Amino acid sequence: MNERVSPRSYEFANFELASDGTPLRHPDRPRARYRPFAAFRHFRELLKDKENTAEVFKIYDALPSARFLSRVRAVTLNPQGEALRESEPYLPPILDDHDALRKMPKGSVAHAYCDFMEREGLSAAGLVEESAKSGSPSYDDLVQWFGHRQRDTHDLMHVLTGYGRDALGEQCVLLFTHGQAPSQGHLLLGYAGSLHLKRLVKSEAPVMRAVRQAHRTGKACPTLAAQSIRELLACNLSEVRARFSIPDPHWYRVCHHVWRQEGVDPYDLLASRADPGMLATA
């Protein structure tokens, strides 16, 4: 399970350039360091406040994937990737232009995305601000472009999969993301977070079935970061789910049903059952 980042992979990356001269990895970008103890420390902080998104990005930084550069290379260093980077250099302005998105057809991914973001009071720019709190420097390279796309499509994953922003929904999206782009950060957040839920909320809800279904769905779905997001937004949501092999999140819905039968609000799960002392010492 322990992934180590090879120094040779970074040395090789310094010489790989896109046609416009953008390096795969900027030579000034520090080598990723595998720091599991730091990741666990940030995970403990996140347990105290699940809205503290900055801790999530710190966990990702502490658990770099040895295969990340290979994924960036596969998406970017080809004609399709270069065309995608030219048409979509940065996603937040596209995703936050709800006036333009609302002009797309009814039933489209764009309308569902706007509904979700407006209902939850979210914006793509807000997620950018949270990621900036991690303190990671920026570099003009393909690694940054791809990393930003993975970050900026997080809420789009909620929309496509049908998972909400409740505690279980977030675990499911994290494991869907691991299926798309494996990293130990997603595994830690997804499975450890789910086990923490089971510990805090004694229930018959099939939490682990729900997160395993999300994990399998992510593996079967094409990598969203490699898709044209503009084109995806214009498509019918049901058709996209069928084309990408995204099923109804059955076990997630079963969990919500069971919790409601037990008198627990799925969207206020931790607050309704959590012992503050347990959160502080978990």
End-to-end CA distance of the chain: 23
Q: Are 225 and 170 in the same domain?
A: yes
Q: Are 42 and 151 in the same domain?
A: no
Q: Are 86 and 55 in the same domain?
A: no
Reading phi first (left if > 0) and then psi (alpha if -120 to 50, else beta), residue 51 is in alpha
Of residues 192 and 209, more confidently modeled: 209
Q: Are 132 and 250 in the same domain?
A: yes
- In sign, the C-alpha dihedral spanning 251, 234, 77, 35 is negative
Of residues 118 and 200, more confidently modeled: 118
φ, ψ for residue 15 (rounded to 5)?
-100, 0
Of residues 149 and 39, more confidently modeled: 149
Q: Are 58 and 77 in the same domain?
A: no
Q: Are 242 and 129 in the same domain?
A: yes
Domain that holds residue 213: 65-262
Q: Is residue 147 in a domain?
A: yes
* Percent of residues, the chain, with pLDDT higher than 90: 60
The pLDDT tens digits of the residues spanning 49-59 come to: 776 777 877 88
Residue 186 has a pLDDT of 80
Q: Are 159 and 51 in the same domain?
A: no
What is d(CA 207, CA 213) in angstroms, rounded to the nearest whole number?
Answer: 10
Q: Are 218 and 123 in the same domain?
A: yes
Q: Is residue 51 in a domain?
A: yes
Q: Are 38 and 176 in the same domain?
A: no
Residue 196 has a pLDDT of 84
The pLDDT tens digits of the residues spanning 131-177 come to: 888 777 889 999 999 999 999 999 999 999 999 999 899 999 999 99
Q: Is residue 5 in a domain?
A: no
The number of distinct structural domains making up the chain is 2
Residue 274 has a pLDDT of 40
Q: Are 141 and 176 in the same domain?
A: yes
Residue 64 has a pLDDT of 76
